[in-house]
Amino acid sequence: PSYDNPNKKSSKIPDLRSTLYWNPKLSSSTGVAKFSFYTGDAVGSFKIKVSGIAEGNRFFSGEMTFQVRTDIE
């Protein structure tokens, strides 16, 4: 969903998507690509997986986990 206004950001309808971000055309001219995304409303541990093709047709992949918590400080 698009969270382009305050009403959408404060919606009472839970966002329970399993895929939070997908971009098959993310690219970088410097070797570093940055992206951001909204998490869903489910609390827990989630995995980010990245894979692609670098210059010279070299394949790469990586993954990391992150936590979504409700105890915001």
The pLDDT of residue 8: 78
Query: Distance between CA 64 and CA 41 in Å, rounded?
Result: 19
Structure tokens at 20: 């939070």
Task: List pLDDT tens digits, range 9-65.
Answer: 787 888 887 777 888 888 888 888 888 888 888 888 999 998 988 889 999 999 999
Beta strands, E only, 2-57: 44-54
Can you give the length of the chain in residues? Answer: 73
Q: Is the pLDDT of residue 7 over 90?
A: no
Contact 20, 37 (CB under 8 A): yes
Q: Which residues of 2-27 are buried (b: 16+ CB within 10 A; e: fewer)?
A: eeeeeeeeeeeeeeeeeeeeeeeeee
